[in-house]
Amino acid sequence: MSGGASFRAHLVDTLWVVGVFAFVCAVWEFAVKAFDLPVFVLPPVEDVVADLLSAPGLFASHALFTVGMALAGFAVAASVGLLMAFAVVSSRILDRILMTFLALLHSVPKVALAPLFVIWLGAGFEPKIAIAAMMSVLVIVVDAVAGLRSVDPEMVNLARVYRASPLAIMLKVRLPAALPHIFASWKVAISLSLIGAIVGEYVGGQRGLGYLILVSQGSFDTPRVFASVLLLSVIATALYYLIALAERMFAPWHVSRRAGGH
Amino acid sequence: MSGSPLVEIDKASKIYRSPRGATTAIADVTVQIGDGEFVAVVGPSGCGKCTLLKCVAGLEPLSSGEIRVRGERVDGPPDGLGAVFQRDVLMDWRTALDNVLLPAEFLGLRRADFLPRARELLGLVGLADRANSYPWELSGGMRQRVAIARALLCRPVFLLMDEPFGALDALTRDELNVELQRIWLAEKNTVLFITHGIEEAVFLADRVLVMDRDPGRVALDLEVALPRPRPIAVRDEPAFAAHTAKVRAAMPRAGASRAA
């Protein structure tokens, strides 16, 4: 629990990550030199970095678009998913209908549906948001339902003793109890939304890192493809930690107990 | 001590049906609880004492018979009810004070009106300085004290306690028994207290009901006429032992019938 120890543990963790990353770069660099690989197959690390730095405005604007699509899709999935979870927990009939529908959706490889969304919604931002949302809604519903049902039945009984309305039981008893589950699902969902946004950019439109990867690949500009991929992994990591930060703010009891309990 | 009956349990039966058959949790239980009376129910596990409490709370419907509170048939939780369960079910995301205020919020009353009362109750259970602590920062005994304060917030006429000290160690349990008596003498609620501890039941109650199982029914209804307030040492007195002996004699012997 002590701050010093946790800081040192953090530092060790970070050093490991940096170390492994440096090792991968070294192997990469070595492979390029040793096998004399052409740039369009595997560009050297410095070419990728140089490309990133050569057009920061271009990368930033495409990255911003992709992040926007991923976040919008995630927001749709998070709110629709939560409402669906409320419905599933409240009614047996809705439980059957919605869960069957979601299982059906889950069985479809969602990437395969992406071209359909372009037909339905055009090449603007709508299909990208839709695909990003579709990618992540299932995990959100399933985890939120599990969370809403995880509440101690005795706590619900207590609320009933004081004649709490079904709405009050949902919002004041079940929802806070489900927050740890919901945040866990969000951590997975946010990266799925990012994948959805990129898939959406692959199949239509002229903006975003997905689009940038596609056109760079078309002109064998491999350093730019690598630069975009690198940027995407940085974005995915940042979004994950954004959710972790939100969890710390909105479910501090859970975070602190987890830290103290193990 | 007892005035007109506040609670009338009239030939109450509860049968649970499942694909594997029907289980009679309680059969033909008839009990009256006077206004301001402290009634303890003891019995082995599976004797239906918890079922009885859930039915009186209006949380579960009876299969037959009737329960009336202030002459009104129980059909959902009655007015002026307070409850403490075996698990304290405090909300981890709320401070002790916010947990105590919960009944007011659920009942749709103004939180601000109950703030002084909530602070007073935390003082009454000895936790005045822990109002802003979160449940995970409190010991098991402290958590159950918060649960008691929460139950008393809206000045319940009728307090249901379902093995509230069952999960605590013996020392904490004794301490809370003494405190509960003190609180009850101050607040003057009618209490239905479920426990499997014979000493605890005799120490706290005006009347002890012993329940037998298969099916759950009242085997003994014993008046406890020991003077109040009872010190913890009352348990060493012959009069106390005479009561516990009677209760113990009425308890179904362990292993005599199959466990439910």
Residue B260 has pLDDT above 50, yes or no: no
Asked if B205 and B105 sit in the same domain, the reply is no
DSSP lists the bridge partners of residue B194 as: B41, B162
Asked if B147 and B202 sit in the same domain, the reply is no
Within B57-197, where are the H helices?
Answer: 96-100, 102-106, 111-124, 140-152, 170-187
Rg (CA), chain A: 22
Residue A258 has pLDDT above 60, yes or no: no
Written in H, E and C, the secondary structure of A65-108 is: HHHHHHHHHHHHHHHHHHHHHHHHHHCHHHHHHHHHHHHHHHHC
Mean pLDDT of B77-100: 94
Residue B2 has pLDDT above 60, yes or no: no
Neighbour tally for A102: CB within 10 Å: 18
Asked if B175 and B68 sit in the same domain, the reply is yes
ipTM comes to 0.88
Residue B243, domain CATH? 3.40.50.300
Asked if B73 and B167 sit in the same domain, the reply is yes
Mean pLDDT of B77-106: 94
The answer to whether the CB atoms of B77 and A253 lie below 8 A apart is no
Q: Tell me what pLDDT residue B154 has.
A: 92
Return the percentage of chain B with pLDDT > 90, whole number. 72
Q: B214 near B257, Cβ under 8 Å?
A: yes
Q: Which residues of A touch B107 (CB under 8 A)?
A: 162-163
Q: Is A253 on the interface with B (CB under 8 A)?
A: yes
At residue A13 the predicted structure's pLDDT band, cuts being 50, 70 and 90, is confident
Positive/negative CA dihedral, B102, B105, B109, B115: positive
* A163 → chain B, closest CA residue: B107
At residue A257 the predicted structure's pLDDT band, cuts being 50, 70 and 90, is low
Residue B4 has pLDDT above 80, yes or no: no
Asked if B54 and B161 sit in the same domain, the reply is yes
Q: Is A7 on the interface with B (CB under 8 A)?
A: no
At residue A261 the predicted structure's pLDDT band, cuts being 50, 70 and 90, is very low
At residue A167 the predicted structure's pLDDT band, cuts being 50, 70 and 90, is very high
Q: Mean pLDDT over all residues of chain A? A: 91
The answer to whether the CB atoms of B93 and A164 lie below 8 A apart is no
Asked if B56 and B118 sit in the same domain, the reply is no
Q: A162 near B103, Cβ under 8 Å?
A: yes
Q: Which residues contact B112 (CB under 8 A, 6 or more apart)?
A: none
Nearest to A162 among B54, B91, B103 (CB): B103
Asked if B232 and B214 sit in the same domain, the reply is yes
Q: Mean pLDDT over all residues of chain B? A: 90
Q: Tell me what pLDDT residue A84 has.
A: 96
The rounded distance, in Å, linking the Cα atoms of A37 and A31 is 8
Mutate to test the interface with B, among A1, A162, A174, A253 (most CBs of B within 10 A): A162
Residue A3 has pLDDT above 90, yes or no: no
Q: A194 near A70, Cβ under 8 Å?
A: yes
Q: Is B132 on the interface with A (CB under 8 A)?
A: no
Say which residue, A57 or B259, is predicted with more confidence.
A57
DSSP lists the bridge partners of residue B193 as: B40, B161
Half-sphere exposure of B131 (CA within 13 A, CB side): 14
Return the percentage of chain B with pLDDT > 70, whole number. 96
DSSP string, A192-254: HHHHHHHHHHHHS-S-SHHHHHHHHHHTT-HHHHHHHHHHHHHHHHHHHHHHHHHHHHH-HHH
The rounded distance, in Å, linking the Cα atoms of B10 and B74 is 11
Mean pLDDT of A138-164: 95
At residue A1 the predicted structure's pLDDT band, cuts being 50, 70 and 90, is very low
Q: How many CB pairs under 8 A join A and B?
A: 58
The string of pLDDT tens digits covering residues A101-134 is 988 988 888 889 899 999 999 888 999 999 999 9
The answer to whether residue B67 sits within a structural domain is yes
Mean pLDDT of A238-261: 79
At residue B44 the predicted structure's pLDDT band, cuts being 50, 70 and 90, is confident
Asked if B170 and B225 sit in the same domain, the reply is yes
Q: Tell me what pLDDT residue B235 has.
A: 92
> In angstroms, what CA-CA distances link B25 with B20, B127, B196, B213?
15, 38, 17, 8
Min Cα distance A78 → chain B (Å) is 21
The string of pLDDT tens digits covering residues B54-74 is 999 999 999 999 999 988 899
Mean pLDDT of A76-85: 97
Cα A58 off chain centre by: 23
- Domain termination site, one of B107, B125, B156: B156
Q: Tell me what pLDDT residue B254 has.
A: 60
Mutate to test the interface with A, among B50, B84, B93 (most CBs of A within 10 A): B93
- Domain termination site, one of B138, B156, B174: B156
CATH code, A63-225? 1.10.3720.10
The string of pLDDT tens digits covering residues B114-160 is 999 999 999 989 999 999 999 999 999 999 999 999 999 999 999 99
Asked if B176 and B232 sit in the same domain, the reply is yes
Written in H, E and C, the secondary structure of A124-180 is: CCHHHHHHHHHHHHHHHHHHHHHHHHCCCHHHHHHHHHCCCCHHHHHHHHHHHHHHH
Mean pLDDT of A190-218: 94
DSSP lists the bridge partners of residue B223 as: B207
Residue A62 has pLDDT above 90, yes or no: yes
- Domain termination site, one of B156, B181, B197: B156
DSSP lists the bridge partners of residue B14 as: B26
The answer to whether residue B85 sits within a structural domain is no
Q: Which residues of B touch A256 (CB under 8 A)?
A: 136
The tokens for B60 are 């579960």
The answer to whether the CB atoms of B91 and A155 lie below 8 A apart is yes
Q: Any idea what DSSP says for residue B50?
A: H
Residue A59 has pLDDT above 70, yes or no: yes
Residue B171 has pLDDT above 70, yes or no: yes
Say which residue, B55 or A253, is predicted with more confidence.
B55
Q: Tell me what pLDDT residue A9 has.
A: 84
Domain that holds residue B187: 1-80+157-260
Which of A1-10, B30-39, B159-168 comes out lowest in average pLDDT?
A: A1-10
Min Cα distance B69 → chain A (Å) is 14
The rounded distance, in Å, linking the Cα atoms of B166 and B87 is 9
Q: Is A37 on the interface with B (CB under 8 A)?
A: no
Burial of B234 (0-12, 13-18, 19+ CB in 10 A): middle
Residue A96 has pLDDT above 80, yes or no: yes
Q: Which residues of B touch A172 (CB under 8 A)?
A: 105-106
The answer to whether residue B183 sits within a structural domain is yes
Q: Tell me what pLDDT residue B1 has.
A: 43
Q: Is A152 on the interface with B (CB under 8 A)?
A: yes
Residue B194 has pLDDT above 80, yes or no: yes
Structural domains of chain B, count: 2
> In angstroms, what CA-CA distances link B70 with A258, B32, B67?
47, 11, 10
The string of pLDDT tens digits covering residues A17-48 is 899 989 998 999 999 989 988 988 899 999 99
